[in-house]
Amino acid sequence: MTTITDPPKQQFRLSMLIYDTRYRSATIQVVALIAFMLLAAWLIDNTARNMMLLGKTINFGFFGEPASYDINQRLLDYTSRDTHLRAALIGLLNTLVVAILGCATATAVGVLVGVLRLSHNWLIARLMTIYVEMFRNVPVLLWIVFIMAIMIETLPAPSAFRGDNATASMLLGDTVALTNRGIYIPEALFSRSLGDIHFFGASSLRFDVSLDLIAFLIVLGAGLWASHRIKRRADRMQEETGNRPTTWYLRVGVVLVPVVILLVALGFHLGYPELKGFNFSGGTHLRNSLIALWLALSLYTAAFIAEIVRAGILAISNGQTEAAAALGLRPGRVMRLVILPQALRVIVPPLISQYLNLTKNSSLAIAVGYMDITGTLGGITMNQTGKELECVLLLMLIYLIISLSISGVMNWYNESVKLKER
Amino acid sequence: MKKTVFWGVLTVAGLAAGAAAAGTMDDVKARGKLNCGVSTGLVGFSAPDANGEWGGFDVAVCRAVAAAVLGDPSAVEFVPTTGKTRFTALASGEIDVLARNTTWTFSRDVDLKFEFVGVNYYDGQGFMVPKSLGVSSAKELDGATVCIQTGTTTELNLADFFRANNISYEPVPIETNAEAQQQYLAGACDVYTTDASGLAATRATFENPGDHVILPEIISKEPLGPLVRHGDSEWGDVVRWTLNALIAAEEYGITSANIEELSKGTNNPEINRMLGTEGTLGEMLGLDKEWAKRAISAGGNYGEIFAKTIGENTPVGLARGLNAQWTDGGLMYSPPFR
């Protein structure tokens, strides 16, 4: 009878770090890590030494200095006497505005185009193909500049609206003006306004919140909640009795009536744009830089989203469509209730990348003079203070935070739509 | 990911800074070419002609420096920069000298770590409007839309001017002069503001220059001049004295026509010292005897360059004004060559 003895315990030798497969991968990782850290240390050291040679120090003190420049599109109050920090904040809000508008528009257009590209209508499907290929294969910067150039060259200047023989006129009963400086639309005004709440006093981060808006949102939210309750009740009654009570007028009523009452109580009226002096005043001014950037980014990204949506829909087996049709669902409902919910599982992860792309591409804003965070912090502030390293590092950190937030929200959404395994 | 990006930046910053540290003069000589930062195209100051050959008032400074250092006025690599990119280009060592109608200010000199070597054009910020607007003073511009090149001192002056006069305006920031021109001509902005010389240069390229007026207000002092990086005084001296040689040459009547004659020796010791027939000024700069002669021969003296590029007989049509020699009541004044 043979006994299996343990193999003689090998003594550890240095060469085993390379030749022994148990240790090899650890060795390689440690060496790579050390090399990486050395490289990093050399870079930091080199940067620090050269900064010292140039007599520059890393210093964020410039944030407290007055910015001394004006910004045209500002969501919060800002004058040239405010600090660089506030200018950066105004720029950040402008970035967020175009990112949010862009993502929403790109999604709407992208889903529509993606679905239509699968249409059996030959003309519609081909038109959508042309759209996708045109926008996907031309750099977004060119689209931005192109749309801006079209707006500047084709739309009338405000001076064309002036005088007795004006060559241009306002649209929709004199409420909307399309000019080559942007589009002026009516704004919401309240004659019995509740006022604002001020936050952070007079610091650089101060902002106001309109109580009118809060009141409006609360009333609207309550109305929607009540409407939802009515729907639930109708559902229950339908399950119990088989008859669904007609509730649509009730549901519309609980949403609209309180809102209208609130608006009347606050003295809601529209402020119309009016030609005064050099420009239109009053109303809301959507600057051509915002429109060009928003449109170009949306249409460009929508082309990619359309392809993602198409891929998502094609990934769902044809049997699903046929089964749904066999149950008697109409094509629109088949898409909305059966195909799209399943396709979302395929669509959402690549969609996140497109949102990130759109947000980062918004830094091309300077091409049309849109003052986003790259234009304020990474542009004028950097130029006037000469703090390149600080500004660029901070800028990267800000974009990183924005991108991670978008990813976080979208990953959460992805969790909620993905296949639930029980 | 975060780390990768961070190190990436440090790499770029580190490499850029590394390039900046060496002696610029040796770099230029070793390269055999002067890297000169100019504008992206401002007629009269720095713009490429139909053959792609750069010419203009600022370009002449680059050519003079190249002639003095390398002996060849065409040994220049012109790097077009925008108002925003010019300082980074200079600080990173991408260019050796920046001659791009850049205003000499305290913070650029001290805080941004540059060295202005002199002034080649005394300017001030002005406003241009279409005649049809019927505006006769900048103070009537309340509510106007103003096109402005971003990253310039004019941007700050503009904010200060409108604030001081308590009138409102809508700034439209723009990267290059060409874009500003497009927006201004299309009426997307009512006013274009930049240095008065730049306005004149821009107006000269319009189809109907007569339809546009430059308002009388000059709202700032804009001494424009070439600049180099701080911390390399030898190189700064070369550029400074090349510019001074051009200015002094006009004062002493040295022109591209008579320079050969004068460099054989004259009765004026100052001219002799400049042109290298007397003394060792060239060697003190680390150059040879004839550096100034070459610099002046490259495009003529200051007055000749002015007349050729932006003077009254050119489309730009600028009068000498403040930029006349001090002997003619202007501010152009070179320290003595002694």
Same domain, residue pair B67 and B137? no
Buried b (16+ CB within 10 A) or exposed e, A349-365: eebbebbbbbbebbbbb
Give yes or no: residues A302 and A219 share one domain: no
CATH number at residue B285: 3.40.190.10
Kindly state the percentage of chain A with pLDDT values over 70. Answer: 98
Question: Which residues of chain B neighbour A70 with C-beta distances below 8 Å?
Answer: 158-159, 162, 169, 171
Give the structural domain span for A212: 206-267
A246 and A364 in a single domain? The answer is no
What pLDDT does A150 receive?
Answer: 92
CB–CB of A56 and B170 under 8 A?
no
Judged against a pLDDT cut of 60, whether residue A346 lies above it is answered with yes
* Closest C-alpha among A400, A311, A406, A376 to residue A90: A376
Percentage, residues of chain B above pLDDT 90: 54
| Greater model confidence, A172 or B132 | B132
Residue A148 lies in a domain: yes
Give the lowest-confidence range in A259-263, B175-179, B188-192. B175-179
Specify the higher pLDDT residue, B210 or B16: B210
Say how far apart CA A307 and CA A106 lie, in whole Å.
Answer: 12
pLDDT at B17: 46
Whether residue B157 sits in one domain with residue B142: yes
Length of chain B: 338
Whether A351 and A222 share a structural domain? no
Domain boundary among B171, B193, B220: B220
Same domain for B160 and B143, yes or no, is: yes
Q: Are residues B133 and B279 in the same domain?
A: no
Top residue of A33, A39, A43 to mutate, by most chain B CBs within 10 Å, is A43
Same domain, B118 and B238: yes
Q: Is residue A328 part of a domain?
A: yes
> A82 pLDDT exceeds 60?
yes
Provide, as residue numbers in chain A, all residues whose Cβ is less than 8 Å from the Cβ of B163: 79-81
Q: What is the mean pLDDT of residues A202-207?
A: 82
Give residue B20's pLDDT band: very low, low, confident or very high (50, 70, 90).
very low
Contacts of A126 (CB under 8 A, 6+ apart): none
| Residue A227, pLDDT above cutoff 70 | yes
What's the gap between Cα A74 and its chain centre?
A: 18
Residues B53 and B193 in one domain: no
The pLDDT score that the predictor gives to residue B209 is 87
Task: Tell me what pLDDT residue B14 has.
Answer: 47
- How many folded domains does chain B comprise? 2
**Residues A300 and A414 occupy one common structural domain:** yes
Q: Is residue B173 domain-resident?
A: yes
Residue A336 lies in a domain: yes
Chain segment A231-272, per-residue pLDDT in tens: 899 889 888 888 888 888 888 888 899 899 998 888 888 888
Determine, yes or no, domain membership for B247: yes
| Domain assignment present for A32 | no
The domain boundary residue, chosen from B220, B248, B280: B220
Task: Report d(CA B241, CA B246) in Å as an integer.
Answer: 8
Among partner residues A68, A281, A392, which is closest to B143 by beta-carbon distance? A281
Q: Is B36 helix (H, G, I), strand (E, B) or coil?
A: strand
> Do A258 and A140 fall within a single domain?
no
Q: Are residues B237 and B322 in the same domain?
A: yes
Q: Do A309 and A376 fall into the same domain?
A: yes
pLDDT tens, residue by residue, A392-420: 999 999 999 999 999 999 889 888 887 77
Q: Which of B143, B175, B182 minimises the CB distance to A276?
A: B143
E strand segments, B24-143:
34-38, 47-48, 54-55, 76-80, 97-98, 114-116, 121-123, 125-130
Query: Which H helix or E strand runs over A231?
Result: helix A211-241
The number of folded domains in chain A is 2
Q: Which of A215, A232, A267 is the C-terminal boundary of a domain?
A: A267
Query: Residue type for A100, please?
Result: I
Do B268 and B200 fall within a single domain? no
Token pair belonging to B294: 């070459």
Q: What is the pLDDT of residue A247?
A: 83
Kindly state whether residues B244 and B324 are assigned to the same domain.
yes
Most confident of A124-133, B38-47, B204-213: A124-133
Q: What is the pLDDT of residue B22?
A: 55
Domain that holds residue B46: 23-122+224-328
Give the CA distances from residue A231 to residues A158, A225, A258, A337, B84, in Å, rounded to whole numbers and listed in that order.
50, 10, 18, 19, 58
Q: If you average pLDDT over residues A124-144, what whole number do you get?
A: 94
Q: What is the mean pLDDT of residues B163-182?
A: 88
pLDDT at A165: 73
Q: Do residues A277 and B168 lie in contact, with contact meaning Cβ atoms separated by under 8 Å?
A: no
Alpha-carbon distance of A361 to A144, in angstroms, equals 11
Please state, rounded to an integer, the average pLDDT across all residues of chain A. 88
Q: What is the mean pLDDT of residues A3-22?
A: 76
Within its chain, how far is the Cα of B1 from the centroid? 42
How far, in Å, CA of B90 to CA of B79, rounded? 10
Do A100 and A212 share a domain, yes or no?
A: no
What pLDDT is attached to residue B19? 45
Residues A302 and A395 in one domain: yes
Q: How many CB pairs under 8 A join A and B?
A: 151
Q: Are residues A221 and A327 in the same domain?
A: no
Contact status, residue A46 vs residue B17, Cβ threshold 8 Å:
yes
Co-location of A347 and A411 in the same domain: yes
Do A214 and A260 share a domain, yes or no? Answer: yes
Span B236-248, average pLDDT: 95
Q: How far is B11 from chain A (nearest CA, A)?
A: 6
User: Using the beta-carbon criterion (under 8 Å), do B145 and A278 form an inter-chain contact?
Assistant: yes
Test mutation, B156, B177, B184, chain A, max A CBs within 10 A: B156
Of B220, B236, B259, the residue that ends a domain is B220
Residue A320 in any domain: the answer is yes
Cα–Cα distances (Å) from B185 to A180, B129, B182, B205, B217, in that order, read: 12, 10, 5, 11, 21
Q: Tell me, yes or no, whether A292 and A419 share the same domain.
A: yes
User: Shortest CB distance from B163 goes to which of A80, A153, A396?
Assistant: A80
- With respect to residue B163, please indicate whether it lies within any of the assigned structural domains: yes
Contacts of A56 in chain B (CB under 8 A): 113
Calculate mean pLDDT across residues B212-227: 91
Query: Under DSSP, is residue B61 helix (H, G, I), strand (E, B) or coil?
Result: helix
**Residues B186 and B239 placed together within one structural domain of the fold:** no
Question: Residues A58-83: what's their mean pLDDT?
Answer: 88
